[in-house]
Structure 1
Amino acid sequence: MNEPPCWKFLPEGNNYVDNSLFEVLFPVRNDSLCESCLYKNSPPVYLCVDLSGKILSINLIGALSLGYRPEDLLRKSVSQLFATSEKPLLSEAFTRLSHQTIGNKNHYWYFQLECPGWDRAWVKINARTSASKDHKPVILMVFEKITACKHTKYAMKESEQDFVFLGAGVDDIPAMLWMSSSDGCYSLFNKQLLTFIGYDTWTCERQSPEKIMYHRKPSDLDWLKLIHPDDKNLYLDRFEKAFGTKEQFQIEYRCKRADGEYRWLLDRGSPRFEKNGNFLGYIGSCVDITESNLAKTALEKSKQALQIELEDKIALNHLRNEFLGKISHELRAPLSNMKMAIQMLGIVLEQRGKSLPTQSEARYEFPPKADIYLQILNNECEREISLIDNFLDLQRLDSNPRGWVLESISVPQWLPQVVRVFQSRRCNSCKHDLQLDIASDIPLITCDPFSLERIIIELLTNACKFSPSGEKIIMSVQAKSQNIQFQITNTGVEIPEAELARIFDNFYQIPSNDPCKQGGTGLGLALVKKITESLGGNITVKSDSNYTCFTVQLPAE
């Protein structure tokens, strides 16, 4: 029988080596042909080398899988099959093995190859020493490709190293951390997460409290028991989709804490990849957001309550505006009729006083105090009209404080006209020395002219009402920074210091402070303050010996 082709590459006289290799690889033999065929066609790489590393024999399939022909490797150093970085380690392994007793035991090495067929492939090497026919030691080696397994192992090692890289402080991070492998299995939990779920009650296999390795999928019943029944489907759906898309994800769900209470967790995961793009799994964190959710719920309820309150206020304002519209007509209409009747009565009295009485009229004589009564009637009617106007204006300001029509006003031109209008209206009641002092550098002011006129008229009226006849009333205007300052000073009267704090209150009148006995509504200054503040300004009052000064400041723009 011809010698099998595989053996023609062996050096002559080394049949003992051949038999030694067969004894290692195929301890049960039927015949040499069977042994030769198995050796030749087996997928693993079988090698026989001397202690210097020269290849004495290699099987055909093994050589071809490495990218060589058998004859290309014979008498060549086995180190040429290995990556450059592995050669020093390989040399050390050979040295250690050469000092072992021949055939004592098998040794297992893990190296990376660098050859045409298995470039950068990882192999597990089963090696043992044997003896040639002349009793020289040789090394028998079997290569098993484990690249895929090595990648997985490296990924796991990388995960552990990444976790360890965080340092001892990882357990001080106020978050629960986890890590998973690419198949969706959890690989690492930190101490915070273990404490949260109750480490002692967790049934997953563990290594040590400091470094826990889990190989459990989230669909396992042990984990799902911790998830609130209403959140399980959402959790599983998001988790499985994330591993399909390999993108960042986050889930909010309720998880049972060690004490049995369900807590809301915000679970975020980020994918991990190797440099070559291989997906390694996820690293993630869980944060207890129960208190935050409770605060959000309370805030939402508060917002809803505020919204309801706002809607109620809007409805109330609408009703109030309707009421004011109706009451304005109902109150003003009879007063307007009264005012008209009083004016007509005055005209009649005036005409009767100038004309000769007829025969029928001679029988009736007007009372001597008729004119006084008519004046009282007219004053009280005016007072009621002013009271109603001020009251309704205050209510409108409360419901719509910004209902202005803004214009650019030149104070030096506008103010003298307003003062003349005031003087024409109060020609009989205001017998004072009214002086106007306007600075020359007053800029334009953007304001509602009707509202500003209302402020000026009301303050001038107040000054006239509470100052004795003949006293001075000084109206001055000057620019102050970005504001325009209006001051109305009247002499001959002062306000007690105790009353200054209440002078702008609704319906408040200073006791015994009406020397002219003209009366008032108690709403004028309150209305002035309300209008001033709605225009973005402020009003103050100062009173000292024999004088009182009201100061209004309004923004120029």
Structure 2
Amino acid sequence: MSLNQRLRGAQRQRRSLWHQSHPPKDISPTTPVYLELEPERVSDLELGTAETLRRTQAELQWYRQLYEQTPAVYFSLDATGIILSVNQFGATCLGYTPEQLTHKSVFDLFEESDQQQLSNAFMRTLTAAPQGQTASWEFRLNCPASKVVWVKVMMRLLPSGDKNFVSPVNQGLVAINERISPAQSPQKNSLILMVCEDITAYKQAEVKAEELTALAVQQSQAVVQTHLEEMAGLNRLKEEFLNTVSHELLTPLANMKMAIQMLGITLHREQNFLSAMAKPQAERSKAPRYFEILDNECEREINLINNFLDLQRLDTNVKPWVLETIQVQQWLWRVVELFKSRNHHACRQNLHLHIAPNLPPLACDPFSLERIFVELLTNACKFSPPDAEITVSARLIPDNIQFQVINSGVEIPHSELPRIFDKFYRIPSNEPWKQGGTGLGLALVQKLIQHLGGTVEVESESNLTCFTIQLGLKNQG
């Protein structure tokens, strides 16, 4: 028997002896147990970390795509202006690839004439407080392969010291974790964010608008010059017309006036005509009454034409007036006395003159001022009843000499006052002593006062009518 056989026999003998000494027992469990093979479990922490990483990567990829394709040029620059990164859209817009622009000076992308201004703006941004207000400028580019000519540049300082700043550089997102020691300059490790927005179309439209405005201005100037020349020509024609009308109308009237005066002299010699004219109108014979009508209407026609021509000349005459200095006391007394002597038949009212003492000299056109007073006195006589009071006064008020012509016994309705200086306007009235006028006298008064640099106003109440004239003493010689 071999050794192996002897060993196996011994093992069987031992098992038999064990079974003999140990009776069999029921070792089956009350509940069956099933054995399964289970894979090794991954912890929840590991699963959460992996999911967060996946989401973070997806989010970063989305932000990167957004950054790369945003329709503007985004630069990150170091403190010397070297380009650290640029987005894909911006590089393409400028005619480059991101790799071609990285590590290049940003100043080389701009016109040489604008580089100094850009450098100044860059330095101001570099020395500004971090997270400060963003400033903007407009500069011209020098990128031959780009259609962009003008850009609006915005810059902001973002220092990297003690901060985690994520900057897209070339193919990935690189975390910049640099700590600046106290001995280092704060600008050395600072980061400049520069955004360039294309404003070429806007600037071209602006230039075009300026050019169009300068066409427009030249055309307007040409049109204005043409109109001025036309107006000057029309004024010359108008002046020639007025001169012709003045001669053709006034010459026959002057002859008629002279003939009427000669007729009056002849009739006086033959029939004592002046004595007949002095009688009341009801006692006169037909000849004196006809003569008076003829003389008055001829005078009225002469005044109408003179007033009309003078108004037209005042509108067209731009020549400066030659002013004279007058002594108001002596001058006004002479004007009133001359009016009384020339109009003793028509002016049957009591005419008074009140002049304040020590009035200063007045620089004016004495002929125009005399005509103003004659017109106002004529109206006062026409529209006041016989034996009414007419007062002419002059006094000094601050910086002005004030003249007044006041007539009593007549009142202008308030509704008529706004129209009293209109051309050809006459106040309607049925009073027998209020004679009709040309309707140009007060319009001429207002125009003459305006040319003298003064004002005229009218008030009427309590059975009185007052015309007030004020002439300034400023700039008096």
Using the size of structure 2 for normalisation, the TM-score is 0.59
**Structure 2 residue identity aligned to 1:322:** E
Equivalent position of 2:305 in the other structure: 388
**Structure 2 residue identity aligned to 1:482:** D
Equivalent position of 1:428 in the other structure: 345
Instruction: Find the partner of 1:467 among 376, 384, 387.
Output: 384
Asked whether the 8 Å contact 2:149–2:200 carries over to 1, the reply is: no
Q: Pairwise CA RMSD of aligned residues?
A: 3.8
Asked whether the 8 Å contact 1:390–1:524 carries over to 2, the reply is: yes
Output one character per residue of 1:208-266: Cα deviation in whole Å (capped at 9) or x when no partner: x96599xxxxxxxxxxxxxxxxxxxxxxxxxxxxxxxxxxxxxxxxx9738xxx926xx
In the alignment, the residues of structure 2 paired with residue 293 and residue 323 of structure 1 have an alpha-carbon distance, to the nearest angstrom, of: 44
Instruction: Find the partner of 2:204 among 250, 263, 271.
Output: 263
Asked whether the 8 Å contact 2:153–2:195 carries over to 1, the reply is: no
Instruction: Find the partner of 1:511 among 409, 423, 428.
Output: 428
Question: Structure 1's 387 and 162: CA in aligned 2 closer, same or farther, altered over 3 A?
Answer: closer
In the alignment, the residues of structure 1 paired with residue 469 and residue 227 of structure 2 have an alpha-carbon distance, to the nearest angstrom, of: 35
Give the CA deviation at 1:185: 12
Output one character per residue of 1:312-353: Cα deviation in whole Å (capped at 9) or x when no partner: 111111001101111100001111121122222222322222
Q: Secondary structure at the match of 2:204?
A: strand
Q: Unmatched 5+ residue regions in structure 2?
A: 1-103, 110-114, 126-130, 155-169, 171-191, 274-283
Equivalent position of 1:192 in the other structure: 152
**Structure 1 residue identity aligned to 2:209:** E
**Structure 2 residue identity aligned to 1:391:** F
Equivalent position of 1:204 in the other structure: none
Instruction: Find the partner of 1:165 among 112, 118, 123.
Output: 123
Equivalent position of 1:481 in the other structure: 398
Instruction: Find the partner of 2:371 among 454, 477, 481.
Output: 454
Q: Secondary structure at the match of 1:474?
A: strand
Asked whether the 8 Å contact 2:411–2:461 carries over to 1, the reply is: yes
Using the size of structure 1 for normalisation, the TM-score is 0.51
Output one character per residue of 1:515-555: Cα deviation in whole Å (capped at 9) or x when no partner: 42533111110000000001111100000021000001111
Equivalent position of 2:325 in the other structure: 408
Q: Secondary structure at the match of 1:263?
A: helix
Q: Unmatched 5+ residue regions in structure 1?
A: 1-151, 195-206, 214-254, 265-287, 356-366
In the alignment, the residues of structure 2 paired with residue 172 and residue 190 of structure 1 have an alpha-carbon distance, to the nearest angstrom, of: 17
Output one character per residue of 1:407-447: Cα deviation in whole Å (capped at 9) or x when no partner: 11110111101111101111111011111111113111110
Instruction: Find the partner of 1:353 among 249, 252, 271.
Output: 271
Asked whether the 8 Å contact 2:423–2:443 carries over to 1, the reply is: yes
Output one character per residue of 1:244-297: Cα deviation in whole Å (capped at 9) or x when no partner: xxxxxxxxxxx9738xxx926xxxxxxxxxxxxxxxxxxxxxxx3433443333
Give the CA deviation at 1:161: 5.8
> Where does 1:100-119 land on structure 2 (aligned, <5 Å)?
none
Give the CA deviation at 1:368: 4.0
Question: Structure 1's 403 and 394: CA in aligned 2 closer, same or farther, altered over 3 A?
Answer: farther
Asked whether the 8 Å contact 1:402–1:534 carries over to 2, the reply is: no
Equivalent position of 1:371 in the other structure: 288
Q: Secondary structure at the match of 1:419?
A: helix
Equivalent position of 1:291 in the other structure: 209
Question: Structure 1's 170 and 291: CA in aligned 2 closer, same or farther, altered over 3 A?
Answer: farther
Asked whether the 8 Å contact 2:353–2:392 carries over to 1, the reply is: yes
In the alignment, the residues of structure 2 paired with residue 178 and residue 542 of structure 1 have an alpha-carbon distance, to the nearest angstrom, of: 70
> Where does 1:481-500 land on structure 2 (aligned, <5 Å)?
481-500=398-417
Kindly indicate whether residue 259 of structure 2 is the aligned counterpart of residue 341 of structure 1.
yes
Equivalent position of 2:236 in the other structure: 318
The structure, 1 or 2, with the larger RCO (C-alpha pairs under 8 Å, 6+ apart) is 2
> Where does 1:102-141 land on structure 2 (aligned, <5 Å)?
none
**Structure 2 residue identity aligned to 1:257:** A
Of 479-488 and 378-387, the range deviating more from structure 2: 479-488
Give the CA deviation at 1:308: 1.6
Q: Secondary structure at the match of 1:511?
A: coil
Q: Secondary structure at the match of 2:152?
A: helix
Question: Structure 1's 514 and 507: CA in aligned 2 closer, same or farther, altered over 3 A?
Answer: farther
**Structure 2 residue identity aligned to 1:539:** V
In the alignment, the residues of structure 2 paired with residue 386 and residue 465 of structure 1 have an alpha-carbon distance, to the nearest angstrom, of: 15
Q: Secondary structure at the match of 2:435?
A: coil
Output one character per residue of 1:121-168: Cα deviation in whole Å (capped at 9) or x when no partner: xxxxxxxxxxxxxxxxxxxxxxxxxxxxxxx97986997764533539
In the alignment, the residues of structure 2 paired with residue 328 and residue 154 of structure 1 have an alpha-carbon distance, to the nearest angstrom, of: 82
In the alignment, the residues of structure 1 paired with residue 259 and residue 325 of structure 2 have an alpha-carbon distance, to the nearest angstrom, of: 41
Asked whether the 8 Å contact 1:465–1:514 carries over to 2, the reply is: no
Identity of aligned residues (%): 47
Kindly indicate whether residue 246 of structure 2 is the aligned counterpart of residue 302 of structure 1.
no
Question: Structure 1's 379 and 191: CA in aligned 2 closer, same or farther, altered over 3 A?
Answer: same
